[in-house]
Structure 1
Amino acid sequence: MTLSPELLLHGYSIGIFPMAEHREDPEIFWVDPKLRGVFPLDGFHISRSLARRLRRQDYRITINRAFEAVVDGCADRSETWINAELRSHYLTLHQRGDAHSLEVWDGHQLIGGVYGVVLGAAFFGESMFSRRRDASKLALAYLTDRLVQTGFQLFDTQFLTPHLASLGAIEIPRSDYHAMLANAVTSQAEFCVPLDQSPQGVIQRITQTS
């Protein structure tokens, strides 16, 4: 099977996603978990410490300013599922407007980010990275707020990790995920629009601070 950007999008549309075993493995396989990780868009959890971090505003948030660098940051670890072919396809999807990144900066230094694929009103979160404490949490908070403000219905995280669970992500059965997916991909949302990105606005829109 020859992978292509079109086949990637089709896979996402039917609830599966691609992975490689590691960076140097040329083989790509499709994954369809029995339990799927998702972020309820009205249930992001911001702790008091993260709320304080948000309000400090010693960082800068951008959209699609450094997509390639975000993908490479996500792959810059000892074990990664992003091989060269997947990297190339995600860059192509970004150039076509089907994949997006959110970056966290300290001055001119990229300290964290997250990227994913968009179909209709579904955002498929692929990976994130952090080079500074709380940078990935900041990225996920601002990403969730953007999805809320722009009318997205589904924020897919693929798997549930302890880190994601601490921020409010949950697992749902495959059948429930496919039902949510069917509604989301046939709806419309616009990722790339100017938005209110004030920390207080983010906190108020996406969570109950606890």
Structure 2
Amino acid sequence: MIRRHRNWASLDLSRAPADGPVAFCGDLGPENLLAGYRAGVYPFPAAEPPLRDLNEALFEELVADGQVAIVGDDNRDPYSVAWWSPDPRPVIPVDAGRLGHSLAKHLRNRLSWSTSLNRAFGRVVEECRAGREPRWLTAELVDSLNRLNEHGWALSAEVWEDGELIGGVFGVRTGPVLSLDSMFHRRSDAAKVAIADLAARFRQVGGRLLDAQWDSPQTRLLGATPVPRARYLALLQASPDLPPPADLTLPARRLAAAGTG
């Protein structure tokens, strides 16, 4: 039986796949996007029609069996956007999102490097889109992310060198979790510095975890540890929202002085 939900509030992931889409929903509007993150899922739009058709071909049986939900009651094509919630979920505790010894030593000599919050959100997103295929950061998703940024839910951390943007990361915050969507760098280790900066800022307002979303050797190197999806969801559902971090521009070398991991 196809599990149809009007919204994310009633989504039950107890039978959902661990390593595949857990739902399909074509609504990428900002309200629905934030509600999805609150439910512990994140979107992966099909950038081209063949990818949409592949979603239906690969997963229609799981949809019919009730393991994968269809969310939304409007006329949007649900198979145009797959929503994921891996089990286990790779997360980085904010007090572990620190710099390694070699990078910290390197950063102490980078007097021209600084970091900021939300100073160039749109530019960071566009840098993360550039040259990446499939282009899951579709125009509709980017528009909704920009609108969430305007209201303080989507955040970016930027790394600068003498006024040039050399690295960044962006994501969406819900309760004590900040879910990292993508990052980029133009200088070696600039993306790592952006993540450490975002972890430090989020920790200051009571944040607990950075969600790395996809488990990989790269995310493990950033300090990610896999936790059961049920534990991750329980944390989201039991915790209130936090105030946004301060958006001051700060010297990057302070992250080296704060300690290493």
Q: TM-score, normalising length from structure 2?
A: 0.71
Query: What is the CA distance between 1:159 and its match in structure 2?
Result: 1.3
Instruction: Determine the C-alpha separation between the residues in 1 that align with 2:155 and 2:48.
Output: 21
Q: Output aligned runs, 1:30-45, within 5 Å.
A: 30-45=83-98
- Give the alignment partner of residue 231 of structure 2, picking from 170, 176, 183: 176
Instruction: Determine the C-alpha separation between the residues in 1 that align with 2:235 and 2:258.
Output: 22
Instruction: Determine the C-alpha separation between the residues in 1 that align with 2:231 and 2:136.
Output: 26
* Shift in CA distance, 189/97, structure 1 to aligned 2, threshold 3 Å: closer
Instruction: Determine the C-alpha separation between the residues in 2 that align with 1:50 and 1:23.
Output: 39
Q: Output aligned runs, 1:191-210, within 5 Å.
A: 191-192=245-246, 194=248, 199-200=253-254, 202-203=255-256, 205=258, 207-208=260-261
Query: What is the CA distance between 1:23 and its match in structure 2?
Result: 7.4
Counterpart of 2:41, as a letter, is I
> Are the aligned partners of 1:145 and 1:205 in contact in 2 as well (CA < 8 Å)?
no
Q: TM-score, normalising length from structure 1?
A: 0.87
- Give the alignment partner of residue 132 of structure 1, picking from 187, 212, 237: 187
Match of 1:5 in 2: 30
Q: Output aligned runs, 1:58-207, within 5 Å.
A: 58-79=112-133, 80-184=135-239, 186-192=240-246, 194=248, 199-200=253-254, 202-203=255-256, 205=258, 207=260
Q: Which runs of 5+ in 2 are unaligned?
A: 1-25, 53-79
> Are the aligned partners of 2:124 and 2:158 in contact in 1 as well (CA < 8 Å)?
yes
* Shift in CA distance, 195/68, structure 1 to aligned 2, threshold 3 Å: closer
Does the alignment pair 1:50 with 2:75?
Answer: no
Cα deviation digits, residues 16-71 of structure 1 (max 9, x gap): 11112447878222112122111012223522211112212331211111111000
Query: What is the CA distance between 1:191 and its match in structure 2?
Result: 1.6
Instruction: Determine the C-alpha separation between the residues in 1 that align with 2:30 and 2:176.
Output: 19
Cα deviation digits, residues 176-197 of structure 1 (max 9, x gap): 111222233x242432354875
CA RMSD of aligned residues (A): 2.3
* Shift in CA distance, 204/106, structure 1 to aligned 2, threshold 3 Å: closer
Counterpart of 2:92, as a letter, is F
38-47 vs 84-93, greater mean Cα deviation: 38-47
